């Protein structure tokens, strides 16, 4: 998806003195007036936040981690973890796979330091047809945050770049309050998300 003006506002509002960030996807800044859009590290650099990203394409120095597979954290912990349009694409050979989706979320959780903030912005169920394999609801975040004792800082929906027809995203910003392990896959399967 990339970082829009709305996304950049979320970062500015919730970076909360973060010293470092890890971003899912080698994101571009689409809040700029001219194309081609620069990479997101420029935004974080302007806030004094050390930047890393995960993307199999390895663009912009991305670390090539397959988010669909289990990952043992070798990168350390980050004050800020962001997902601006990546987890909806994590799949099992191009199709929704619950284990792939779960592994992505477990990796995100494991990379976030206790007390750190995670910003998520991904397609709402029924929007962005054919864009990904996993679609979000506000209920998903409510259930996940309740199960994990995450503190919800902001939860809502908005039309990306003004696309009110079929371009709505769900966004959730939360704080990781403790060192608890991520929920098991059986509990994760019961959360309210969709595959189309």
* HEC string for the chain: CCECHHHHHHHHHHCCCCCEEEEECCCEECCCCCCCCCECHHHHHHCCCEEEEECCCCHHHCECCCCCCCCCCCCCCEEEEEEECCHHHCCECCECCHHHHHHHHHHHHHHEEEEEEEEEEEEECCCCCCCCCCEECHHHHHHHHHHHCCEEEEEEEEEHHHCCCCCEEEEEEEECCCCCCCCCHHHHHCCCCECC
pLDDT tens sequence for the chain (196 residues): 799 999 999 999 999 899 999 999 999 999 887 778 899 999 999 999 999 999 999 999 999 999 999 999 999 999 999 999 999 999 998 888 999 999 999 999 999 999 999 999 999 999 998 889 999 999 999 999 999 999 999 999 999 988 999 999 999 999 999 999 999 999 999 998 777 6
Task: Tell me if 14 is assigned to some domain.
Answer: yes
Kindly state whether residue 195 falls inside one of the protein's structural domains: no
- Mark residue 96 as left, alpha or beta (left: phi above 0; alpha: psi -120 to 50; beta: remaining): beta
Which tokens go with 32?
């700029």
Q: Domain for residue 24, yes or no?
A: yes
196 falls within a domain? no
- Whether 120 is covered by a domain: the verdict is yes
Q: Is 74 domain-assigned?
A: yes
112 located within any domain = yes
Q: What is the pTM of this model?
A: 0.96
Tally the domains of the chain: 1
Classify residue 194: in a domain, yes or no. no
**In terms of residue numbers, what domain contains 10?**
5-189
CATH number at residue 75: 3.40.50.150
């Amino acid at each position: 998806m990339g970082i829009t003006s709305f996304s950049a506002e979320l970062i500015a509002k919730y970076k909360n003195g973060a010293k470092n960030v890890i971003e899912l996807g080698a994101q571009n800044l689409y809040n700029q007036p001219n194309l081609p859009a620069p990479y997101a590290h420029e935004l974080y650099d302007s806030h004094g936040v050390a930047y890393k990203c995960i993307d199999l394409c390895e663009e912009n120095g991305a670390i090539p981690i397959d988010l669909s597979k289990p990952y043992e954290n070798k990168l350390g912990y980050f004050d800020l973890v962001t997902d601006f349009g990546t987890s909806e694409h994590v799949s099992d050979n191009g199709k929704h796979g619950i284990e792939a989706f779960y592994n992505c979320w477990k990796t995100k959780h494991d990379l976030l330091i206790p007390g750190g903030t995670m910003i998520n912005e991904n397609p709402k169920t029924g929007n962005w047809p054919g864009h990904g394999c996993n679609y979000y609801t506000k209920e998903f975040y409510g259930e996940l945050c309740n199960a994990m004792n995450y503190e919800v800082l902001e939860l809502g929906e908005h039309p990306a770049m003004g696309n009110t027809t079929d371009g709505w995203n769900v966004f959730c910003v939360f704080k990781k309050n403790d060192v608890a392990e991520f929920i098991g896959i059986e509990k994760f399967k019961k959360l309210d998300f969709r595959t189309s």
